[in-house]
Structure 1
């Protein structure tokens, strides 16, 4: 996640879901890779 004010912060899927509403208010870009957790190899 990139902040509108600058900087980057990484969250695990659990914490992203927990804080999703608050994070989306201050993020300029969110890269969600949750789908990669279930990819078969």
Structure 2
């Protein structure tokens, strides 16, 4: 768990707040698309 937090903090420093928010949004959208199946 500690390494996960360190990785996230490192990514946040590297790509910056805007890029981090964009990354979160993209992964959220991908999660929704994979979990919701339109029948």
Does the pair score TM above 0.5? no
- Structure-1-length-normalised TM-score: 0.29
Higher relative contact order (CA 8 A, sep 6+): 1
User: Comparing both structures, which one devotes a greater share of its residues to strand?
Assistant: 1
User: Comparing both structures, which one devotes a greater share of its residues to helix?
Assistant: 2
- Structure-2-length-normalised TM-score: 0.29
For the pair shown, the structure with the greater C-alpha radius of gyration is: 2
